[in-house]
Chains A and B, each alone.
Chain A
C-alpha cells in the first residue's frame, strides 16, 4: 500500500511545472557559479604558488641563522568552492621565527589582487542550496495536505484502509525523492566541472567530505519540507499555506540571519581586558629586557650596545612591537653582520656569549607571553564569534552553514589547524637550533664565513585535518538537523492523526 501511495505521489510531483522549474534553475545557478568559483579558486591558487616561491627564495638569500624568518603560506582549500566559510577572508601568510608564536591574527593576505573588489559579496554552492533548496522544499510541501483536503481527495484516500502515518510517510518519501533530483543532478554537474579542472586536485577524503555535505544538504532539505508540511497541515487552505510558508522562508533565510546579529549587542572586546593583557605582556618583556641589559653591563665589553665594538658591515635592531588590535607584544632584537673587520675578530666571542645567553630566554619569554595571549585572543575574538554562530543556529540555515563549513574544513577550526601547524613548525625549528647548538655560534649573527645550509632545517608542510576530525566537527550540527527533523515529523504526525478530515 505504501508503495502505491509513494508511486502516486511521485508521479504527481514529477509531472508538475514546479519540478521542471526547480531542476532548471538549480542547474543553471550551480553550473554558472561553479565556473565562476573555479576561476576564483585558480586565481587564489596562482597567488599562493607565487607567494610560496617568493618566500622560499627569500629564505635562501639569508646569510645568518638569526635572520631566519620563514613566511609560510596557507593553500586555498578546494572545498571552499562548496562553502567558502572563512577560507577566503582570513589571512593566508604568516611569519615564523623562533622569537614569536604566530597566530591567525598575525597573518596577512597575499597582496596580489584588487582588495576593493571585496565590496561585492561572493557566493558559493552551499549558499545556492541554502536559498533555493529551502524554497523548493516549501513549494513542494505547502499543498501536500492542504491541497488534498481542499480537493477532497484526502477523504477518499482515508476511506480506504490506509494508515494516516503511511500517507505522511509516502508524501515525505516521494517529495524527498523528487527534491533529490535537482540536488544530485546539479552537484553531479559541479563535480564534473571540478574533476575536469586540472588545478583542483581532490583526494579520496575530499569525496567523502563532499558525501558528508550531500547528507547534510539532505537533512536540511527535509527540515524545510517538514516545515512546509506542518504549515500545510495547520493552515488547511492552500493559499494561506503558500503565503505563510513564503513569509517563514523569507524570515528564516533572509531576515533572521542578518537581523539577529544587528539586534544583539555587537561583540566588541572590552577595552579594559585588552589593556590589562597588553600591560601584563609588556611587563614580562620588560623584565626580560632588564635581564638582557644586566648581562650587557656585566660582560667584559663596556656599554649596552649589542655591537660589542665589532667593526662590521651590517645591521642591528632591538625594539618592542605593540599592536593592541591583535593583542600582540613582542620584542625583536638581532644582529646581522655581513662582513667583519679583521681587527675586530677578538670581539666576536663576546657577541657569541651574548646570544648563547639571550636566545633561549627570548624563546621562553615568547612562550610565556603566548600563554597570556592565547587566553586573551580566545576571550576577545573567538568567544564572541562563537556566540554569534550559536545565535545564527536558531535558523536551520545557520546550522546547515556551519555543518557544511565543518565538512569542507573552512570553518574556524579548519583555519586554525593551519596555524597550529605553523606553531608546530616553529617548535621543530627551535628544536633543531637547540640540537645543533646554533645560538652560540658565529653563524648565528654573521654570514661572512660559512653559508647556512637552509635545506637542513625542518621543512614546513601542512595537511588538512583528516576526514575523521571533519566528521567529529560536523556531527553535532548534523545531529541537530536530524533532531529537528524527528521533532517536526512527530508533531506533524500527532496533529494529522488527531485532525478531522
Chain B
C-alpha cells in the first residue's frame, strides 16, 4: 500500500511545475560547479606541485651539501595538498593558509672589527616551523559572495526545494478534500505519512541525482582531474548525507503540513523557519560564541614571549658569543639552538591551539543549525575546511620530528663527527644521499577523528527521527 501512495506521489510530482523548475535549477548549479572546478582545480594542483618541487629542490641541495646544512636549513616550506573533492566543499579555503613556513635560520650575532667589513657569524638559529595566520582577504575589493559548492547547493538550495515539495503534502490534500477520501479507505495513517515521505524523497532525489550525475560526468571525463576509488567512495557518502539532510527538511515539511490547515500558512511557517535556521543562525551564533573568550592580542603574545627568550640568553650566558670551538662552547650553542626552536615552536603552537579552540567552540555551538552540521560533515568527507587544516599542521609537526630524528641518527653513523647537533664544528660535514632523507607527504586521513564525525552524523539522524515521529504524532491526532 505504501508503494501505491508513493507511486501516486511521484507521478503527481513528475508533472508539476516545481519538478521542472527544480531540475533546471539544480542542473544549472551543478554544471556551474563542475565548470568552475575544472577551471580552477588544475591550476591549483599545478601551483601545489610547483611549490612542492621547489621545497624538494631545497631539501636536495642542502642534503647534497652536508648533513649540517640540512640540519640548519631544514626541508623548505610545507604545502597543503589540494583535495580532489574541493568542489564538494570549499571549506573556507581562501581564508585558511595553505603553507606552513620553515623559517630560515636567523643570524643573532656577528663579530667583526670596525676597520674591516668582514664579519664572522658566531650565532644563528636553525630552521623553525611557523604557523601562518588566516589570510585576510584585504586586497580583494570585489563583492562578497559564497562559493557554489555542493555544500551550498545541498545546504541552502536543496533544503529550500525540499520544503517546497512537502509544504502542501497533507494540508494541500486536506484543502482539496482528497485526504478525506483516502482515509475513508482502510489505510492506516502512518502508511499515508510514510508513503508521502517516500514519494517526496524519491521525487526530489530524481532531479538531484540527475544533477549530481551530470556534475560528476563533467568532472570525471576531464583528463586533468583524477578521482580515485577512495574519492568515489567519499562522494557516495556525501550523496547519502545529502539524502539524509533532505529527509530532515521533508520531515519538517510534513510535520508543519500536518498541523496547519492551510497550505499557504504552512509554507509561510516553513520558510521563516528555514530562513532562521539555515540563513541566519550559523553566522549569528558564531559571532556570539566567538565573543565568549577574548582573543589574545598580538602585543600580549609578544609580551609573554620575550621573558622566556631572555631566560634562554641568561641560561647559556656569554659562552654563546665565543668564537672558540671547544666542546663546551659547542654544546652550549647546540643546546641554545634546540631550546630556542623548541621554545618558539611551542609558543606559536600554543597560540594556534588557543585560536583553534575558539573556532571549535563556535563550530560546536553553530551545530544547532542542521545546515552547519551538514557543512561540517561534507567538509570532513571532502577533506577541506578547518579540521583538515589542523590535520595538515599535525602532519608537518610529525614530519619535522621525523626529520630531526633522522639528522641525529645519520650523524651517529659518522665516526668523525662529535655528535653535537646543529653546530657546524660538532656535526657530520658529509653529504648525504637525498633519497635517504624522509620526504614530506601531506595525507588526509578520515579515520583520525571519526568520533566527532559520528556524533554529528548521529545528531543529524536524530533530527530526522524526531521530526518524522513528530510528523506522525501530529498527523495521527489531527482531524481531517
Q: Which A positions have Cβ atoms within 8 angstroms of B?
A: 17-18, 21, 25, 28-29, 32-33, 36-37, 39-40, 43, 50, 54, 86, 89-91, 104-105, 107-109, 111-123, 128, 131-132, 135, 139, 143, 238-240, 242-244, 246-247, 250-251, 254-255, 257-259, 261-263, 265-267, 325-326, 381-382, 384-385, 388-389, 392, 398, 401, 412
Decide if A135 touches B286 in the complex (CB within 8 Å). Answer: no
Q: What residues on A are CB-neighbors of B29 within 8 Å?
A: 255, 259
Which one of A21, A28, A120 has the greatest number of beta carbons of chain B within 10 Å? A120
Q: Which residue of A lies closest to B35 (CB)?
A: A263
Decide if A255 touches B141 in the complex (CB within 8 Å). Answer: no
Decide if B359 touches A117 in the complex (CB within 8 Å). Answer: yes
Instruction: Pick 30 A–B contacts, CB within 8 A, sort by A.
Output: A18-B268, A37-B287, A39-B287, A40-B287, A86-B141, A89-B140, A105-B139, A112-B298, A112-B299, A114-B290, A115-B133, A116-B355, A116-B386, A118-B136, A119-B359, A121-B146, A121-B283, A131-B280, A135-B271, A239-B168, A246-B164, A258-B145, A259-B32, A261-B143, A262-B32, A262-B147, A262-B148, A384-B142, A385-B142, A398-B143
Decide if B291 touches A255 in the complex (CB within 8 Å). Answer: no
Q: Which 8 A-B pairs have the closest CB atoms?
A: A120-B286, A119-B92, A115-B134, A112-B297, A385-B142, A114-B295, A91-B138, A111-B298
**Is B18 part of the binding interface, using a Cβ–Cβ cutoff of 8 Å?**
yes
Q: What residues on A are CB-neighbors of B290 within 8 Å?
A: 114, 117, 120
- Bitwise interface map of B from 134 to 167 toward A, beta carbon under 8 Å scored 1, else 0: 1011111111111110001000110011001000
Of B122-130, B259-267, B317-325, B445-453, the stretch lying at the interface with chain A is B259-267
Q: What residues on A are CB-neighbors of B297 within 8 Å?
A: 50, 111-113
Decide if B272 touches A122 in the complex (CB within 8 Å). Answer: no
Known A117-B362, A242-B267, A250-B160: A326·B287 in contact at CB below 8 Å: no
Decide if A119 touches B96 in the complex (CB within 8 Å). Answer: yes
Q: Which residue of B lies closest to A130 (CB)?
A: B279
Distance in Å from the Cβ of B380 to the closest Cβ of chain A?
A: 15
Decide if A238 touches B264 in the complex (CB within 8 Å). Answer: yes
Q: Which residue of B lies closest to A384 (CB)?
A: B142
**Is B356 part of the binding interface, using a Cβ–Cβ cutoff of 8 Å?**
yes
Known A116-B355, A135-B275: A247·B295 in contact at CB below 8 Å: no
Distance in Å from the Cβ of B47 to the closest Cβ of chain A?
A: 13
Q: Which residue of A lies closest to B40 (CB)?
A: A266
**Is B218 part of the binding interface, using a Cβ–Cβ cutoff of 8 Å?**
no
Q: Which residue of B lies closest to A377 (CB)?
A: B141
Q: What residues on B are CB-neighbors of A128 within 8 Å?
A: 280
Distance in Å from the Cβ of B252 to the closest Cβ of chain A?
A: 16
Decide if B287 touches A36 in the complex (CB within 8 Å). Answer: yes
Decide if A120 touches B355 in the complex (CB within 8 Å). Answer: no
**Chain B interface residue number, banded:** 35 or more
Decide if B282 touches A120 in the complex (CB within 8 Å). Answer: yes
Roughly how many angstroms separate A106 CA and B161 CA in the complex, as a whole number? 44
Distance in Å from the Cβ of A295 to the closest Cβ of chain B?
A: 22
- Bitwise interface map of B from 245 to 277 toward A, beta carbon under 8 Å scored 1, else 0: 000000000000000000111011101100110
**Is B36 part of the binding interface, using a Cβ–Cβ cutoff of 8 Å?**
yes
Decide if B264 touches A120 in the complex (CB within 8 Å). Answer: no
Distance in Å from the Cβ of A319 to the closest Cβ of chain B?
A: 17
Given contact pairs A21-B272, A246-B160, A250-B160, a sample of 16 additional A-B residue pairs in the complex whose CB atoms are under 8 Å apart:
A29-B280, A36-B284, A36-B288, A104-B141, A114-B358, A116-B386, A117-B362, A120-B290, A122-B283, A239-B168, A250-B25, A254-B157, A255-B29, A259-B29, A388-B143, A398-B143
Contact of B386 among A105, A119, A238, A239 (CB under 8 A): A119
Distance in Å from the Cβ of A147 to the closest Cβ of chain B?
A: 9
Q: What residues on A are CB-neighbors of B264 within 8 Å?
A: 18, 139, 143, 238, 242
Roughly how many angstroms separate A257 CA and B157 CA in the complex, as a whole number? 13
Decide if A32 touches B138 in the complex (CB within 8 Å). Answer: no
Known A89-B137, A114-B358, A382-B141: A33·B280 in contact at CB below 8 Å: yes
**Is B95 part of the binding interface, using a Cβ–Cβ cutoff of 8 Å?**
yes
